[in-house]
Structure 1
Amino acid sequence: MYLTARDITKRWTDRNVLDHIDLTIDQNDRIGLVGANGCGKSTLLQVLAGTESCDGQIERMKGLTMHYLPQDPVFSRETVLEEMKAHAAAQPEAIEEFEISSILSRLGLKDQPIHQLSGGQRKRLALAKALITRCQLLLLDEPTNHLDAEMIEWLENRLRKENQAVLMVTHDRWFLDRTVNQVLELDEGRLYRHDGGYESYLENKAARQEAKQLAAHKLDRLYKQELEWVRAGVQARSTKSRSRLDRFEELRKQRTKVQERSLKLVPMASRLGKKSLAWQDVAFAWPDGPELFHDVSYQMKKQERLGFIGPNGCGKSTLFKVLAGRLKPVKGFVETGETVKTGWFGQGELTDDLSQTVISYIEKTAQTIPWDGQEFTAAQMLEKFLIPRSMQHLPLGRLSGGERRRVYLLKVLMEAPNVLFLDEPTNDLDLVTLDILEDYLDGFPGIVLTVSHDRYFMDRVCDSVFVFQPDGTLRQYMGGYTEYREREKEEKEERKQEQNRRSAQRPRLTKQGLTYMEKKELAALPQQMEELQAAIDSLNEQMGSPMAFEELQVLTEKRDVLENELAQAESRWLELEEKQEGRE
């Protein structure tokens, strides 16, 4: 057994965030840790990593090696490469420089001063360090944040191949389903274990919730009985009466908690007229920078859900800002209807003044709001977003990153937009909030545009997706992320079949009318072309694996040489064929 934790308890000011938890991690375990924002997932990782104190007992296997990836990493060197080399030097076995370069390349990083890195790049650098660590146990806190879809797929494959135990916090549902063999759910300080991936977790949780619902019905009946007793005006003078009043108060708290956790959001939006949002021949480039995209045109339809997919740095968020009117295109134009009221849920937007209280931040938007035929206060709306009144007068800085994102999302929705721009909306949101948001969008009567690397979210929400192409254009695919990738595979297979068809249609070669040496050359050419094509295919396969940039350049040059030789061989083959046909 790698690690055993017994009776782990961690108390914050007002509650036990970890309440007498037992946990074991063994050699082949790949565990996903899920739960609501602020429930203590990161705290549990810190406790297991030994960076946070707790009550209870943790036993680690003698000689156990482990590495912890925090949400806010700290570095000790000046540049990216210096940081990676220093970490590699501390490993028990040598790590080749090409492996370091390969992982950095896969994660979209290059050697530069660390102080110049964005928050997302810093997280990717910390992940790169974790991936070159020679250890038995990895503790990863949100490893997929700030990764694009291709990076996430690469990380999935790497974690599956590595002989390491893993415990990770993640809200990426596809990633959970493809990488873990059990899910641990942290709920009100208690830990619940589910064998299998995300789908199994949902099934098990549904069964547990059904049992809770039956208990809630019993609780509700008992509460009503006790409420009648209290209203009857019985004086709480005796010990028996006082204890019954105390029990009633406890029932009231439990009942309120059940009601809060079962709340659902009712969509609201301002009226959207016939003219909504359209853009024509849009292009954008930063001053002295390359063109990010060009010739982007589309006319949005009412209640359409549109997604944008592309690698990090391709310009997705920039295009979003252009479409939302936050940036001006260098070419083309964006038309916005008079009734359009945009809501912007972006990355890193809630960072200006974290000293203001949660309730004051929301009341700047509205103190009361009509919702589902009723009038709700800002405090009541916060409760709907799982922010209890006990937390509403805390400074925003006291909330977890996910809780702040949830408050920010509430602020956006309270503005009643009819066109929603969601830029990486799933970052730092827990599974409960994601379910609420997706259900909300199902009934949202306006337009939704989203950039997201959460493949499950894209499948769940989008009618179609626009995919950034290498030449700076965008191509539309109907459906979500899965449909796009299936269509991409079909097109690749179609191209391969077309190449095979053309090869099969080549005329049969004859030897009549050719010199002896030409006949010999003609006979050898088909085999030579097959060998060249096989070598090119082999290089293409190698180039699809992680490697250093310099190694990739060498393989690219080799492929260029082989492709030139193949073109010359095909040209010579056609020349000899034409000569033969002319002689016949």
Structure 2
Amino acid sequence: MVSFLQVDGLTKSFGDLVLFENITFGVAQGQKIGLIAKNGSGKTTLLNIIAGKEDYDSGSIVFRNDLRVGYLEQAPHYPEGLTVLQACFYSKNETVQLLAEYEQALVEDDTDKLNSLLERMDSLKAWDYEQRAKQILGELKIHNLEQKVESLSGGQLKRVALANVLITEPELIILDEPTNHLDLEMTEWLEDYLNRSTISILMVTHDRYFLDRVCSEIIEIDQKQIFQYKGNYSYYLEKRQERIDAQNAEVERASNLLRKELDWMRRQPQARGTKAKYRIDAFYELEKKAHQQREAGHVNLDVKASYIGSKIFEAVDVCKRFDDLKITDHFNYTFARYEKMGIVGNNGTGKSTFIKMLLGEVKPDSGHFDIGETVRFGYYSQEGLQFDEQMKVIDVVQNIAEYIDLGDGRKMGVAQFLNYFLFTPDRQHSYVYKLSGGEKRRLYLCTVLMRNPNFLVLDEPTNDLDIITLNVLEEYLRSFKGCVIVVSHDRYFMDKVVDHLLVFRGNADIKDFPGNYTQYRAWKEEQDQLKKQQEQALQSKQAPAEEKSRKPEKEVKRRLTFKEKKEFEALDAEIPALEAEKKELETAMSSGTLSTDELLAKSARISELMEELDEKTMRWLELSEWV
């Protein structure tokens, strides 16, 4: 395989904090690699280093000459003043730059410049390129192409940046959390797009279904080193456990040997001096190995939630709308004790608004939520990440409570609770400003759980959390003795945690589904298939009489039907007419006499004609085989 990227002996540290040391790996043509590590291990830093946005201490990074590389940052940004369409064309790619010039000439009504650009647009097939860009934007639900980038939300900007990366058609694409801010429909579209593409990929994502279905190799940063697995996420889980088991066995063997060597080392100096020096050196190596410890990747916290009565909440005739957008319309629901509900749906269908109505932060237009007296909400929101950056991690949590109640008189202190959520003792005494974005999200989660609520409401809790933390949270929620509502686009997380769904399908259409996301997806596919079969049956009944009366032997010989023959004759006339119209438009656009509006209209028509010609020519070829 052709090597696209080679990283050799790479080391990066911040002061005395070493993120990774002397790591080596490569990306070859066609490889699709997922990068996994817990928050704070340097995943985003590594991607930034490879993309040339951060320095490193030592090592080398080599790309193949003239390699087209696309990079989706975790928090992308563009110069102010750009429109969405211009941001999508913000690239060093020759075709993209040409399109940017063309768009600018249109805005400035510069006819001379437009005329000089037309020939280059034709030679580079830039008309197709622009159309493809708009199609990708449509799939990512970005429709207002003239909107300024500074007015976009973080999620919208991430989707624009993703479109920008995809339409430049790189040979190697580096993605940092590509599914953040994508709804389930968009995530599944992107999953399918990358699966069908021949693009090489180096990707960080917490979406485990996405990782499993797109990537064929996994790289893990652990203990400042790189471990590589030649398989998808499922294969990685299996082989990683084997590696940890082998390492633990080695540590145990080292501990047993250490006890014997310790007896020897404690003998009087005269006796030790007669022994070989290599044995003394080996002792210290054994000691180092014996004290290695594996941090648990999961936790079984049997936390006692505060008492919750049988009445949780009841939604009574709740109506809410924003202008023409309906969120709920006379919605009624009674929430059961200990229920674990997931809320899913496309962006903009009102999931977060529904949560805020339940919590009293947004008032319904009519109707109400009747909340039980014993309910104590714990709310993890998308906007809730606010800390005093100069405080230490342990102090942030200790300001909420000194301990968490485990029941039966047992208590867990703050330090132990933080340790369960993967904050090591030295990290607990770090200042908040030193934490990575994912570590801050994990700390925010700890502050919510430390309040000992009996009803957890989690709005997109999986964004920016690493896979190890997600495992911890999933185990916590599964054993949580209270109620849970989760709004999330993470299919894997929903499957593990919830047993019931509210599916927001837009315009106040809310489906109550008794199952997890995978079960809902299977049910939906069955419904779609059934609907398709019903439509086909209806079309079959409405087919022309000559279609029904065809004899079996004629079908075997596969002659054109009367209808197909007429279609073939029509195509014979239509294709030359379309080609003539295209030629006329090209001549007119090169004449230099058209206004800006006329140029725009004719260039749009050319794009339509090219698609129509392709479609009709393919159909003509198909029919011509049976003439």
How many angstroms apart in 1 are the aligned matches of 2:304 and 2:95?
A: 55
Q: Tell me if 1:185 matches 2:209.
A: no
How many angstroms apart in 2 are the aligned matches of 1:6 and 1:481?
A: 42
How many angstroms apart in 2 are the aligned matches of 1:339 and 1:222?
A: 57
Superposed CA deviations along residues 195-245 of structure 1, whole A, max 9, x for unmatched, are 221111111112112212323433555677799999x9999xx99999899
Q: Secondary structure at the match of 2:461?
A: coil
Output the amino acid matched with 1:314: T
Measured after TM superposition, the shift of residue 88 of structure 1 is 7.5
How many angstroms apart in 1 are the aligned matches of 2:375 and 2:267?
A: 56
- Superposition pairs of residues 30-41 of structure 1, within 5 angstroms: 30-41=32-43
- Structure 2 equivalent of residue 97 of structure 1: 130
Measured after TM superposition, the shift of residue 162 of structure 1 is 2.4
* Gap change, CA 1:394 and 1:15, over 3 Å in 2: closer
How many angstroms apart in 2 are the aligned matches of 1:218 and 1:207?
A: 16
How many angstroms apart in 1 are the aligned matches of 2:235 and 2:493?
A: 18
Q: Which moved more, 1:167-176 or 1:396-405?
A: 396-405
The one of 77, 82, 89 aligned to 2:86? 82
The one of 9, 24, 28 aligned to 2:11? 9
Give the alignment's TM-score, normalised by structure 1: 0.80
How many angstroms apart in 2 are the aligned matches of 1:142 and 1:459?
A: 20
How many angstroms apart in 1 are the aligned matches of 2:481 and 2:510?
A: 26
Output the amino acid matched with 1:48: I
How many angstroms apart in 1 are the aligned matches of 2:376 and 2:540?
A: 58
Output the amino acid matched with 2:348: G
Output the amino acid matched with 1:67: G
Measured after TM superposition, the shift of residue 443 of structure 1 is 1.1
- Structure 2 equivalent of residue 407 of structure 1: 443
Q: Tell me if 1:464 matches 2:525.
A: no
% same residue: 37
Q: Secondary structure at the match of 1:87?
A: coil
The one of 135, 157, 163 aligned to 1:128? 163
* Gap change, CA 1:227 and 1:142, over 3 Å in 2: farther
Q: Secondary structure at the match of 1:96?
A: helix
* Contact 1:295-1:473 at 8 Å conserved across structures: no
- Superposition pairs of residues 279-298 of structure 1, within 5 angstroms: 279-286=315-322, 288=323, 290-298=325-333
The one of 327, 330, 333 aligned to 2:365? 330
Q: Tell me if 1:433 matches 2:437.
A: no
- Superposition pairs of residues 190-205 of structure 1, within 5 angstroms: 190-205=225-240
* Contact 1:88-1:133 at 8 Å conserved across structures: no
Superposed CA deviations along residues 473-530 of structure 1, whole A, max 9, x for unmatched, are 20112211111121112112223344455667789989xxxxxxxxxxxxxxx969x9
Measured after TM superposition, the shift of residue 388 of structure 1 is 1.6
* Contact 1:88-1:132 at 8 Å conserved across structures: no
* Gap change, CA 1:441 and 1:223, over 3 Å in 2: farther
- Structure 1 equivalent of residue 60 of structure 2: 57
Measured after TM superposition, the shift of residue 34 of structure 1 is 0.7
Q: Secondary structure at the match of 1:36?
A: coil
* Contact 2:318-2:364 at 8 Å conserved across structures: yes
- Structure 2 equivalent of residue 44 of structure 1: 46
* Contact 1:265-1:436 at 8 Å conserved across structures: no
Q: Which moved more, 1:54-63 or 1:308-317?
A: 54-63
- Structure 2 equivalent of residue 382 of structure 1: 418
Measured after TM superposition, the shift of residue 32 of structure 1 is 0.5
Q: Which moved more, 1:260-269 or 1:33-42?
A: 260-269
Q: Which moved more, 1:390-399 or 1:484-493?
A: 390-399
How many angstroms apart in 1 are the aligned matches of 2:88 and 2:532?
A: 40
* Gap change, CA 1:219 and 1:294, over 3 Å in 2: farther
CA RMSD of aligned residues (A): 3.5
- Structure 2 equivalent of residue 71 of structure 1: 74
- Structure 2 equivalent of residue 116 of structure 1: 151
Q: Secondary structure at the match of 2:346?
A: coil
* Contact 1:216-1:258 at 8 Å conserved across structures: no
- Superposition pairs of residues 128-527 of structure 1, within 5 angstroms: 128-219=163-254, 221=256, 250=288, 254=292, 257-258=293-294, 263-286=299-322, 288=323, 290-351=325-386, 353-371=388-406, 374-499=410-535
* Contact 1:267-1:441 at 8 Å conserved across structures: no
* Gap change, CA 1:491 and 1:359, over 3 Å in 2: same
* Contact 2:349-2:505 at 8 Å conserved across structures: no
Q: Secondary structure at the match of 1:200?
A: helix
* Gap change, CA 1:502 and 1:58, over 3 Å in 2: closer
Which blocks of at least 5 consecutive residues in structure 1 are unaligned?
Answer: 511-525, 532-549, 559-584
Q: Which moved more, 1:137-146 or 1:498-507?
A: 498-507
Measured after TM superposition, the shift of residue 316 of structure 1 is 0.5
Which blocks of at least 5 consecutive residues in structure 2 are unaligned?
Answer: 97-123, 547-561, 568-603, 613-627
Instruction: Count residues in correspondence.
Output: 516
* Contact 1:77-1:83 at 8 Å conserved across structures: no
Measured after TM superposition, the shift of residue 470 of structure 1 is 3.5
How many angstroms apart in 2 are the aligned matches of 1:167 and 1:367?
A: 43
Measured after TM superposition, the shift of residue 433 of structure 1 is 0.9
How many angstroms apart in 1 are the aligned matches of 2:543 and 2:75?
A: 64
Output the amino acid matched with 1:58: I
- Structure 2 equivalent of residue 567 of structure 1: none
